[in-house]
Structure 1
Amino acid sequence: MDTAVVWYRDDLRVEGNPTLANAVDEAEHVVPVYVFDPRRRGETRYDTEKRGAHRARFRRESVADLRESVRERGGELFVREGHVEDVVPSVADAVDADAVFAQTKPATEEISREHAVRDALGDDIPFHRRLTHTLYHINDLPTPYDRIDDTFTPWRKNVEETTPVREPVPAPESVSTPDVDAGEIPTLSSMGIDEPPTDDRAVLPFEGGETAGKARVNRYLWEEDRLREYKSTRNGLLGSEYSSKFSPWLAAGCLSPRWIHEQVKQYEDERVSNEDTYWLVFELLWRDFFQFQFLKHGDDFFTQSGIRDVEPDWKQDRQAFRQWAAGETGVPFVDANMRELNRTGYMSNRGRQNVASFLADALGIDWRWGAAYFEEQLIDYDVASNWGNWAYQAGVGNDSRDGFFDVLAQAERYDADAEYVQTWLPELDPLPPEYAHRPWQMNADAESTYDVVLGVDYPEPMIDVTERFSELRDQ
């Protein structure tokens, strides 16, 4: 064919991208285009924003980096604003395209936009879609996605035993694009988004783009040699060293999971192969599982009752939700994690489990409010991973928990010296660890000694935490 349009979505890379590679192989000229669709920001039905400032900044940086990568190959990334079903067909018509290539994703909004673009293109312009967001290709699964097990472990074992991971496709050496107005990458302010705050307490600066993502992989695996300790350190809370933190680049598609898998296998060949190195692949499998589960269950993941069709009596307490979101619950481990999220767009996996459990289990508030707030704030938001994990914690999803996270015991286990809590709640810095985690246990003399007054310097707890956890244990 003469000309193909490549509609970029959440696959903002040139390495390990079959959508781009296939288009370059099949067409003489390629028109890569990214569309800033206003529907990917703005207010949701949960009174949250679809995309907050941290993720908006990361996305803009990722698009800019992709443009540079395409330019290095002699081409151009065309940037437009508008509804994708208007913009993509318009671009295809302007360049007299013979086909459109695009990433496909499993969630309902993403699928509906894909269908809208296909319908607008009509029958004259073929639409070629590629699943580029998963480690395993859907056509290689031993069981069709609509019949896969809803429990992770049997699915994982079956896939590991029967299915090889495809090798990542190399980046094209050159990209030939026609002479079309490239368009400007919109600024945050032009999109009505404030610049996100910066904070030197952040675990990483999280610069968007494939270049920065590969640099993080190189640093974590090869320069600092940390993969050998991945599993044993992944529950950390402070600093860049704990966990890989590849998730923001995976979520935006700046890194291919197959490319990361290849890097892990090379590391195992050249350095060490142990339970820690395997565990990173294990986490990629969890990510895949949720992607395929969303293909299977669709909209059910966004209902109160989830895929298990259970009906807990969720509260609709907006004031309590706002306290949780602002990190003003009076429970330090919860508040520290939420304040880190609000300031940086990131939170550890350990923190996510605890704050989700506190909202859904301890407060009994509709879990979807929390999932929507994470969608707004998280720099590494991925629709399937986010909503799948929240449903899991709320007891309405896959492998759902029957228990809860005791945030007090968790704090004392994973933050024994209260360093994390006091990093994000400096008003508690004068307190010894036992009071930093349970400030309500201070009497008047202790408040005077440490010059920290509950209800003045730090909020009183919004619930009797000890009593509530006792009730949950008895249920």
Structure 2
Amino acid sequence: MSGKTILVWFRNDLRIHDNEILLEAVRRAEQIVPVYCFDPRYFELSRYGTKKTGELRAKFLLESVNGLRESLKQLGGELIVKVGRPEDILPEICSQYEVAEVYHHREVASFETDISAIVEEALWKKQINLKHFIGHTLYHKEDLPFPIKNIPNDFAAFRKKTERDSVVKPCFDTPGFIRIPENMETGDLPSFSDLNLDEELLHESEQGFIGGEQEGLQRLNKFLFTEEPKVKGSRNAMSTSRLSPWLSLGCLSSREVYWAVKKHKSRQPVNDTASKLIIELQWRDFFRFMLKKHGSSILDDKETGRDLSESELKNFEKWRDGKTGTILVDACMKELVSSGYLNDKVKQYVSSFLVKELGVFWKAGAAFFEEVAIDYSPASDWGNWAYIIDSEIMSINRPLTIKSDEIAEDFGVKRWFSELTSQN
């Protein structure tokens, strides 16, 4: 350990368990400065009139940041929370606390990586290094049996080879104690108005999900050791577990879920839903590595910047508001707006309807999911859209067979479906 200070820049890794940047900083520095920035660029409007982060997503994010703060407090630490662009905020904090180096987890989507590059440039002007770590996947890229550029574009081939030739490493230890600068100025969580959002809109929502590391760990434990035996026939384990919101913000790590599943299987080897959950984690890895390999070209997008036509806009608004006249689609959309959550199978159903039945440019649907879906993740969402629009780059080999009765029985969709059916 040296006498230096390291700043830990949290983004989509809002946890203290299995967090390499936190553990490495604690090992290498005398004290650390944990920071989270609410970047206003994530709260702007898209060209389709949607918010990059809507009220439900913001609520889950605020709870998750607060959960990280509480976890850090348990170790003797704290969290600096700021509203503003990190390229402005982080250099100031570095000067204030004489920070020698900044640690963060590398992202893959262009919006996030562009921000990292801007931050890196701003820090370099102060001769401070931004050190990149890789911590969002089940398999570390260095442990893959192929370089990123040679990863198979077919999921089946990717899965077969990684299962045969790769290993999932154990989780990183959780630090036992964190030392922060004396009298560190931490700041309060922003209000909804600080983020240009309307808290009153939450009163119309169900708010069934609570963000944060402890909530995610409790959900994982409940699913594996209480609920899983009851749902072993489920065809989509991630959908049944409903863990994706916590995975997307890094309140849960993929490896934590993987090793919990392995522990569960040793006790109940007959049940297979937990095994399917591992496959869903591999899908998350595959989409992330595909985005790293191909960038946005995984969608073969020839119309990157176009607006919607007048007819498309009308159809998009009907879809968004759950007023298409197709009861099952409308029930799904009302559930999404109400709770912030739809499982992947249901998302694929409404996405396919938007593109193939209503003829609406897919990016409008993607923008709406980004606003309202609390489990929004660029790689997974773009991977699913590539699946819908038949990307020629990725071979998904996952037949889009959607049965209306399965969709109608899905959690909250069932309630909306019954209500809309009775109205007609």
Same fold, judged at TM 0.5 (above): yes
Please give the residue correspondences for 1:259-408 in structure 2 after superposition, counting only pairs within 5 Å: 259-272=256-269, 274-301=271-298, 304-305=301-302, 317-396=312-391, 398-399=394-395
Distance 1:121 1:273, change over 3 A: farther
SS of corresponding position for 2:37: strand
Quote the Cα distance in structure 1 between the aligned partners of 2:70 and 2:236. Answer: 36
2-structure distance, mates of 1:58, 1:37: 16
Structure 1 equivalent of residue 49 of structure 2: 47
Q: Which runs of 4+ in 1 moved over 4 A?
A: 313-316, 400-406, 418-422
Count the aligned residue pairs.
415
Q: Alpha-carbon deviations, 1:10-46, whole Å to 9, x = none?
A: 0000001001111111001000000011001110123
Picking from 20, 23, 30, the partner of 2:22 is 20
Q: Report if the CA contact (8 A) 1:18-1:132 is conserved.
A: yes
Q: Please state whether the residue corresponding to 1:385 is helix, strand or coil.
A: helix
Task: Please say which of residues 93-102 and 394-403 is displaced more in the overlay.
Answer: 394-403
Task: Provide the residue aligned with 1:141 in structure 2.
Answer: 144
Superposition TM-score, scaled by structure 2 size: 0.91
- Partners of 1:261 and 1:370 in 2: CA distance: 31
Match of 2:93 in 1: 91
Tell me the equivalent position of 1:415.
408
Pairwise CA distance, 1:422: 6.0
Larger radius of gyration: 1
Tell me whether 1:165 sits opposite 2:161 in the alignment.
no
Cα separation, 2, equivalents of 1:334 and 1:112: 36
Whole-angstrom distance in 1 between the partners of 2:407 and 2:145: 39
Written as runs of structure 1 = structure 2, the 5 A alignment for 1:178-197 is 178=181, 179-195=183-199, 196-197=201-202
How many percent identity over aligned positions?
36
Structure-2 separation of matches of 1:272 and 1:327: 42
Please give the alpha-carbon distance, in whole angstroms, between the structure 2 residues aligned to 1:306 and 1:142.
35
Change (3 A) 1:413 1:126: closer
State the Cα deviation string for residues 239-260 of structure 1 (Å, max 9, x = none). xx97100100000000010011
Mapped pair 1:216 → 2:209: no
Helix, strand or coil: the match of 2:33? strand
Question: Please, which runs of 5 or more residues in structure 2 have no aligned partner?
Answer: none
Distance in 2 (alpha carbons) for counterparts of 1:191 and 1:270: 46
> Which 5+ residue runs of structure 1 have no aligned equivalent?
308-312, 431-451, 453-457, 459-475
Kindly indicate whether residue 238 of structure 2 is the aligned counterpart of residue 233 of structure 1. no
- Cα distance in 2 for partners of 1:235, 1:27 equals 43
Seen in structure 2, the aligned counterparts of structure 1 residues 424 and 83 have a Cα distance that, compared at 3 Å, is same
**How far is the alpha carbon of 1:131 from its aligned partner?**
1.1
* Cα deviation, residue 324, structure 1: 0.6
TM-score computed with the length of structure 1 as normaliser: 0.82
Cα RMSD of the aligned pairs, angstroms, is 2.7
Please say if residues 236 and 276 of structure 2, whose CA atoms lie closer than 8 Å, have aligned partners that are also in contact. Answer: no
Task: Report the Cα distance in structure 2 between the residues aligned to 1:402 and 1:19, rounded to whole angstroms.
Answer: 35
Contact 1:54-1:379 at 8 Å conserved across structures: yes
Answer whether contact 2:8 2:25 (CA < 8 A) is retained.
yes
Separation of aligned partners in 2, 1:57 and 1:119: 31
Matched, 1:424 2:416: yes
Letter in 2 for 1:398: M
1:411-458 per-residue CA deviation (whole Å, 9 max, x = no partner) reads 245537x9966621555454xxxxxxxxxxxxxxxxxxxxx5xxxxx5
